[in-house]
Every structure is written in C-alpha cells, then in structure tokens.
Amino acid sequence: KQEVTQIPAALSVPEGENLVLNCSFTDSAIYNLQWFRQDPGKGLTSLLLIQSSQREQTSGRLNASLDKSSGRSTLYIAASQPGDSATYLCAVVNTGTASKLTFGTGTRLQVTL
C-alpha cells in the first residue's frame, strides 16, 4: 500500500527566503506526482505535475523535482512571499490504479513579513 509522507508538517519563514518542501513515497511504481496548494477553507489548486519519466517541472518561482527510484520529491519555492502561505500537498498516482491519487498530509507554510 502506497504511503506518502511530507516533512516538515509546518514551516514558518521570513519573506524573501528560498525554501524546500519534502515529499516521500514508499512505492516507486508511479505514473506521476502532483503538488497542490490548499488555502484555508478552500479546495486544492494544482501547482505542478511531474510524469514518472520526468525529473523536474518549473512554474514561475516553483520548481518540483522527482527521484522515483528513491521515492522522493521536493518542491522548491524561490523568494517566498506572504501570499505563498498555505498548505502544500503532494500526491502520487500508482501504476495499476490510474484513478486514485494518494495524498500526503501536507506541509503548512507561513511566510511572515
């Protein structure tokens, strides 16, 4: 059974810092990995999707990497801003279960002024 872990559970950084969020998964047989953002009381917004054949994806100040063999992904946020404050979730789709995302429990990020 796939298990997805995110460390740290919570993180507080001052504005302007670069930061890294970590995601690990136990079963490397995945189709893809997605990073999402969830604001309080809101649904999830997809940030980046990395296919299993890819090593990284970039969107603006966000860069996500994937090391499938070691079961790890990182989300790098450059020059953090208070508007980046949210919970960040990673999720994987396993081969053979193309319908289901297995989610981590998230990292709650606060960027302070």
Partner 1 sequence: GAGVSQSPSNKVTEKGKDVELRCDPISGHTALYWYRQSLGQGLEFLIYFQGNSAPDKSGLPSDRFSAERTGGSVSTLTIQRTQQEDSAVYLCASSQGPSAGNTIYFGEGSWLTVV
Q: State the residues that interact with partner 1 by CB under 8 A.
A: 31-32, 34, 36, 42-46, 49, 51, 89, 91, 93, 98-106
If the CB atoms of residues 33 and 77 are measured against partner 1, the closer one turns out to be 33
CB of 111 to partner 1, least distance (A): 22
If the CB atoms of residues 30 and 80 are measured against partner 1, the closer one turns out to be 30
State how far the Cα of 25 lies from the Cα of 16, in Å rounded to an integer.
29
Q: Which has the closest alpha carbon to 73: 87, 86, 57?
A: 57
C-alpha 8: how far from chain center: 12
Residue 13 tokens, joined: 């950084």
If the CB atoms of residues 80 and 101 are measured against partner 1, the closer one turns out to be 101
State phi, psi for 63 to the nearest 5 degrees: -140, 125
Based on its alpha-carbon atoms, the radius of gyration of the chain, rounded to whole angstroms, reads: 13
CB of 10 to partner 1, least distance (A): 12
CB of 17 to partner 1, least distance (A): 27
If the CB atoms of residues 32 and 80 are measured against partner 1, the closer one turns out to be 32
Residue 84, classed as helix, strand or coil, is helix
CB of 24 to partner 1, least distance (A): 14
